[in-house]
Amino acid sequence: MSTALPMEAEVLARREESPGLFTLQLRLTDPAAQAAYAFRPGQFNMLYLYGVGEVPISIVSDPREETLIEHTIRAVGRVTRGLERLAPGDRLGLRGPFGNGWPLGDCEQRDVIVVTGGLGCAPVTGAIHYLMKRRERFGHVNIVQGVKHSADLIWREQYECWARMPDTTVLIAADEAEPLWPWHVGRVTDLFDRLHFDPAQTIVLSCGPEGMMIAVAEQLQAKGIPPERIWLSLERNMQCGIGLCGHCQFGARFVCRDGPVFRWRDVASRLKIRGL
C-alpha cells in the first residue's frame, strides 16, 4: 500500500466496454510491489496520469487475482479522457488501495441483494466475484443492475454467467430499451418483488446514483431489512485518499477514509438533503 507516493504501473491491456467507457488492466512494474499489493472489494485507487493529474477509481478485478489490477473508467474529465488514450505498454502512477470496502464478512450465511445503477456496478463486481467463488458460504444471491438505456449495459456475458449459478437471481432493468431487450423496462425497484430473500437475514450492497440508492434503501427497508444491514457506496470529490484534503467531507465523515461504503442507517438523513 502506498498512500503518499504513486507506484509506477504499466497498462497490460485496454478494453472498450461501450462508447466512452473502458477498462484498463494494470500491473505494478515493481514485482515486489505487485506481489505485496492487496485490496478488498469496494476499495479504490488514485490513478495518476503523468503531467495531468489524479482521479479516484474503484477496483473491479477479483481480489484473488495477484498479477493485475483492473479499473473500469468513464471518460468524463481531463484526467479520465487522458487515461482513455493510454495503450498497452504505457505507464501511469497508482496510489492505494484506499477506503473501507464492502462488509463481506457480514454477508456470510445471509441472503445477499446487490443493487447497482450505471457504472455503480464496477465497485461491486469484485464483491460478486468473491461471493461466487465461496458460493456455499452465502444464502441466495440477488444481483440487480439498472441502466438508463439498454445499450449502456456492459458485462452482459458476466451477468448471464452469474444467472446460471445455483441460488442466484440476476435481474436487469433499463429505463429505455431497444427492441428484443430480454429484461425489464423500467426501474430497478420495479423488480424487487422478484427477489429471493428472508428479510431477517439479508444484507444489501448498493452503488449507483444517489437518488437510486435512496429509493433502493427505502423500499428494501420497507420490506423488513434493517437499515444497519443496507450498505451504500458513496462518491464525493476525492484528492488525497486519506482524509486530509477535505473535499469528500460528508457531515463529520471523510468518504475516502471512513467510507466509501456506509450503512444506510448512518447516512440516510444527510443523503436526502440536497447539497450536503
Partner 1 sequence: MTAECEGVAEARFLAAADRQRLIDALMDAGHEVHGPVVRDGVIRYEPITTIEELPRGWRDEQQPGRYRLQRQDDERLFAWAAPAHSLKPHVFAPRETLFTARRDTEGRLTFETAEPEAPRIAILGARACDLAGLFLQDKHFLHGPHADAAYRARRRNLFLIAVHCTHPAATCFCAATGDGPVARYGYDLAIGEIDAGWLLTARSEAGVAMLARLPVQEADEEQRQAADAAFTAATRAQTRRLPEGDLPARLAALAESPAWAEVAERCLACGNCTAVCPSCFCHAHVEETDLDGGRSRRLRQWDSCFTAGHSLLHGRPVRADIASRYRQWLTHKLAGWHEQYDRSGCSGCGRCITWCPEGIDLLAEATAVLETAE
Which residues contribute to the site for partner 1 (CB under 8 A)?
3-8, 29, 48, 50-54, 76-77, 89-93, 235-237, 239-240, 242-247, 249, 251-252, 257, 269-270, 273-276
- Count the neighbouring beta carbons within 10 Å of the beta carbon of residue 31: 10
Q: Are 94 and 6 in contact (CB under 8 A)?
A: yes
Residue type, 220: L
Which residue do the cell numbers 449507483 mark?
208
Smallest gap, in angstroms, from Cβ of residue 117 to partner 1? 13
Instruction: Pick between residue 21 and residue 143 the one whose CB is nearest to partner 1.
Output: 21
Q: Which is nearer to partner 1, 2 or 189 (CB)?
A: 2
Nearer to partner 1, 138 or 254 (CB): 254
Minimum gap (Å) between residue 237 Cβ and partner 1? 5
Residue closer to partner 1 by CB (options 30, 167) is 30
Cβ atoms of 13 and 88 closer than 8 Å: yes
What is the closest distance, in whole angstroms, from the C-beta atom of residue 252 to partner 1 in the complex?
3
Cα gap 222→3, rounded to integer Å: 40
Residue closer to partner 1 by CB (options 180, 273) is: 273
Q: What angle do CA 21, 79, 244 make, to 5 degrees?
A: 115
Q: How far is the CB of 112 from partner 1 (least distance, A)?
A: 28
Taking the complex as a whole, the smallest distance from the CB of residue 259 to partner 1 amounts, in Å, to 14
* E strand or H helix at 9: strand 2-18
Tell the smallest beta-carbon distance from residue 126 to partner 1 (Å).
21
At 267, the amino acid letter reads: V
Closer residue to partner 1 in complex, CB, 201/269: 269
Q: What is the DSSP letter of 106?
A: H
How many angstroms separate the CA atoms of 155 and 223, rounded? 29
Q: Is 115 exposed, middle or buried (0-12, 13-18, 19+ CB in 10 A)?
A: buried
Instruction: Give the residue among 73, 86, 87, 58 at the shortest CA–CA distance from 18.
Output: 73
